[in-house]
Chains A and B, each alone.
Chain A
Amino acid sequence: MPSQQSRSGTLVMEPEQQDFTVTYDDVRLAFEENQVLQGISFQLRRGETKVLLGVAGSGKSTILKLGLGLMKPDSGRITVLGQEVSSMPEEDLFALRRRVGMVFQESALFDSFNVEENVSYRLREEHVAEDEINRRVIEALRFVELEHTLKKFPSELSGGMRRRVAIARAIITEPEVILYDSPTGGLDPITSTRIIELVVKQRDVYKTSALLVTHRLQDAFTMASSYFDTKANEMRPVTAETPVDTNTSFLIMRDGKVIFDGSAGELACTDNEYIREYIS
């Protein structure tokens, strides 16, 4: 991996894992005959956002679920925040999962809870005081610009609103790592850009590490070429005058293997036929 300034100044960890919040090492998984993952290896640096690309059914969602220990790989090692999730028993995983946020592809909101209860779920589980919960729920919903839907149920929301509620639910405890599964899937360009702006804000303001699955290549490029301007409170394209490191990399999968892992610049000058076709 190219060495880059680590943002984990205050965190004490084993030296070799200092820079990486998530590592996959030769992970393999098959569903009966279907060899979905055939040796996936990559690392996610602290503060980095890695965009996972690949055709439908290439195993992107599976990779994220493995990262949370929701499924177990057939072989290989996965570590998240210094702990090996691939071999941990289910009971021990719950504490680790509280430090990781996940946005599911289909949002997976609790449909018998309203928006407020969905978003505050983790805080209620941790018995945070009620007025503190209210404050943080409003804050998280304001972040996704949905503060007026507190009492609505998921069935009363549009797909894009559900996605944003799911993001609010994932970020409310300010997790160190967030896994976004197709947060812009099936949405109009305006809503997608809004969601990408949220992801960029999370990346630049809170320095969260993230894995993000998407089908929309333009989203990936927007992320790699934009930064969040906290003063203006909006996303701005990186220009020559604002040489900000956007901390975004790309990972492309094909047939259960990683065929590309690197920065936007490296992606632009690759000579792999398949990738050229994919990104054109």
Chain B
Amino acid sequence: MQLISPVEIVKGNVLAVQDYAQLSGRALKNIFKQPRYVADTLQQADLIGVGSLPIVVLTGFFTGAVLALQSSATLIKFGSLSLTGQLVSLSMVRELGPVLTSLMVAGRNASGMASELGSMKVTEQIDAMRALGTDPTKKLVTPRVVSSVVMLFFLTIISDLVGLTGGWVVSLLLLGLNSYQFWNQAYQNLVAEDVTMGLVKPVIFGFIISTVGCYYGLSTKGGTQGVGRSTTQAVVAASVLILVVDFFITRIIMSWFGSGI
């Protein structure tokens, strides 16, 4: 096996980041330019939004439910079981709703995009598209970015609501809290900061999922094996990036609102 010098590796990574940034930039710029591929965007929206709904509902519900269950163990020690609603709603809206939904959609759609575009790349269909005078970033990337961002936004809201419902069901049936206590706590304690955080995150995560998926797809090399590699790399990179970026968004929004440290 041939050894690759560390300098080459670093150079390769820097170039990859640069290519990724360029692709993302172009995908954004295309939103404001003709031609717009509305039909392709709607088709992607259906694929991402409607297609992901079942898994988002399931994960949301059980996350909310388990949150209620876990927190009850601690809260009961302090005699404040009635705070369950607040705990579930804050955790869901600020963190778990956006992050878990994004991770689910990343697993489902970043991989889908990478493998679809990757197959097109290795069978020269991307080149054929360019040869026919269509910009693949306009026809393939931008519709995926737009629909991912919009759909993830709504999927997250649905996930939050379903998560709260999960928490409520557990509170009602297992913890013996009444509905009013739960929902009142859940609603009363949400402030602008929580809602902002909960709605900004999915927009950014949607952008990450789609651009990472498309980037790995379009930079696929090496036949069918290459498609497999791009697909896994896309999911891994998107997931890691979501978790890292999540930390920074949280930090930035907290300092905007002057909360935390």
Contacts and interface: CB of A to CB of B under 8 A. Distances in A.
B contact residues, range? 10 to 19
B131 A102 contact: yes
Interface stretch (A89-97, A216-224, A247-255): A89-97
A94 B135 contact: yes
B133 interface: yes
A278 interface: no
A93 B132 CA distance: 11
A70 B123 contact: no
Contacts, number: 50
Contacts of A121: 132
A111 B123 contact: yes
A contact residues, range? 20 to 34
A273 interface: no
A104 B127 contact: yes
A104 B123 CA distance: 10
B134 interface: yes
B175 to A, nearest CB: 50
B124 A122 contact: no
A207 B222 CA distance: 39
Given A94-B135, A97-B132, A70 B127 contact: yes
A65 B134 CA distance: 16
Contacts of A100: 131
A68 B128 CA distance: 10
A49 B133 CA distance: 23
Interface string A81-112: 00000000011011101101010101011110
Given A100-B131, A108-B128, 6 more contacts: A93-B130, A94-B133, A97-B131, A108-B123, A108-B125, A109-B128
Interface of B: 35, 120, 123-125, 127-135
Interface of A: 65, 68, 70, 90-91, 93-95, 97-98, 100, 102, 104, 106, 108-111, 121-122, 125, 169
